[in-house]
Structure 1
Amino acid sequence: MKTTPLDALHRLLGARMVPFAGYAMPLQYPAGIIAEHTQCRTKAALFDVSHMGQAVLRGEGAALALEALTPADVQSLKPGRQKYALLTVADGGILDDFMVANRGDHLLLVVNAACKDADFAHIAAHLPAGVRLERWDDRALLALQGPAAEAVMIRLGGTAAAALPFLGVGEVTLAGIPAIVSRSGYTGEDGFEISVAADQAEALARAILADADVAPAGLGARDSLRLEAGLCLYGNDIDRTTSPVEAALTWTIGKRRRSEWTFLGAERVRAELESGPRRIRVGLRPEGRAPARAHTPILAGDGTTLGEVTSGGFGPSLNAPVAMGYVPPAFAGEGTELTLLVRGKPLPARVTPTPFVPHRYKR
């Protein structure tokens, strides 16, 4: 099993380590998942996301080359800015979701850990002459998330990071350590993702954790936070069987791209935009306190199976369960009454808009 540059620090901090995407990762620390979740919502939490894949695209026409593989408008992305995007395949399914940043003379990509080898091979195989992909396997990635994150960055000497707009990217020195920082995250809170050389990651993490407003958080809190924020988890809520339209991610498809249709899978995406998909991702609020986990059947009032829950759990910020799943468009309207079959028992639920907890990004 692989480890991140912070493995020794996690163990020193008493983390419960679990296998995830081929890595030993912290599930939680002694304070527990709910405490870590609350820490992120009220102050700031530090996550190790170094298992994710980082790479750069260099060469003239890099943005155009990437657009052959994603519906996103990459060419209009200004230097110092980044966006969320999808890698699609020929049948219109989603190979992965990723972040792409314009760093002036190159594009910086961040992809999911479980998909990175396949993603990078896929991208490299479709690049024209003169454009090359360079993996950044010698870098770590930290995520500082929460309403106190900006103040923490300033105290670390990162005033330039604090000045970044939402989805802004820049080079910043934190506690004397050079880093590439983006104002982004996966929790719904204001925050930063910090790319740093692997051999300096532990020193930077220790400096961040020395701040009284910061505590470490693991995969458990990361999942409950992103679920409350209505954010997709690849492999659960989106995968190669789902299209951007079915996933309710049509906002990632650039306006210009909708007139060109020059990306892999464009035929299916175009047809679903024009005629509607056969299913669509929705938010669900079950009644009571029992959570509906992934693969829980979603039923209509007459008992017909409509689909299944793709992500579900207890939302600590709401003190109630929340879930996401796929249903036919006729059952996707806000307030639609459905039934979830939780451990064989019917549980009433309603279709609810996402996010379940409002995003607090700094606009």
Structure 2
Amino acid sequence: MTSRVLVTGASIAGPTVAFWLDRAGFEVTVLERSPHLRLGGQNIDVRGSGREVLRRMGLDATLLANGTTEKGTRFVDHADATIAAFPAGDGSHDGPTAELEILRGEFARILVESAGPRTEYRYGDRVVGVTQDAAGVDVTFATGTADRFDLVLFADGIRSSSRELVFAGEAETTPVGLYTAYGVLPKGPSDDGWWRWYNAPGSRVANLRPDNLGTTRFSLSWVSADSGYEGASTERVITALRSTFADVGWEVPRILDSLGPDSELYVDYLAQVKAPRWSDGRIGMLGDAAWCATPLSGMGTTLSVTGAYVLAGELARASDHRAGFEAFEARMRPFVDQAQKLPPGVPRVAHPKTSVGVAAFRTALRLAGSKPVQAVSSKFLGPDAATLELPDYEFDNAG
């Protein structure tokens, strides 16, 4: 069986698959184009089968202890009065706020710190060339170096440049028509332990969420055509946000006033990735590079963690890499397809355009708030079932 594996991307899917491949006896190199581990980012959550994978890794308690402390989700009006409130889940049942809510950077840090003895992390480099033959894969890097591996796994995000070296033009990237800008605020007197969601006419939404680092995370979302803000200068993004949200009240002026050249600001035009295949010979892909479902699904991290476990397990027990990749795709494809089926009307259902639409949305929330959390979770989290039956792979005896 193969022994040396290159994994691109040190966010969630990459470190998780590296963890399990190491347990199976593989030698793993994780490559990250950033010069250091990226510790920024917003809240992410893990549900269902993803939580079970973390338990099998022995990390569930550590991740919970480093969570954001979010108590639940409150939908509010312009005066910050609560329209409807949904407490955090307890693991067996999750609403908009899952039991495990954690900052992306904190999650990545804990995953990297859990790396096994056969795993190496390399920073500040990226793959620029890939050539494979029957016995292995020759990889060239942006720094001018080269190496040979038995397998290569791309786990470096929705716009993976590595993926395009092998699967050029195959992955269909479909925008959902929603921009979201994410950033960090100093914690203010009105910030508590709840995620606060505010709707404004014009299909605009503002969110404030607690973290465990003494700050507050914000996001501003708006339905729009693609305007090229991804990759744009910070100055251009700030100008767009101030123009788009200029007349919005609540806490939005506070958010806009905080923006400056040094702001930790990230903007994303949400899109799904659908690829007809996830492997080519000795090269595979997983996570958002293979199947991004968008944050609107509520399933992105769960899919990444679950897919990493399944891929490592199938490669560990297969007779060769081809059989491993085939078994991985057969097991994961139905789960991914289900997660990518966003609820009808998303994202506009939660981003009403008119004042009448906002009022109707709030009425629906009040009704939903009078029922169990299940009544609203399916509207915001995509598939009702966030669980895939996980095989019991014999990692410690493989490789």
Length-normalised TM-score, structure 1? 0.29
- Larger helix percent: 2
TM-score, length-normalised on structure 2?
A: 0.27
Q: Which has the higher contact order (CA 8 A, sep 6+)?
A: 2
Higher strand share: 1
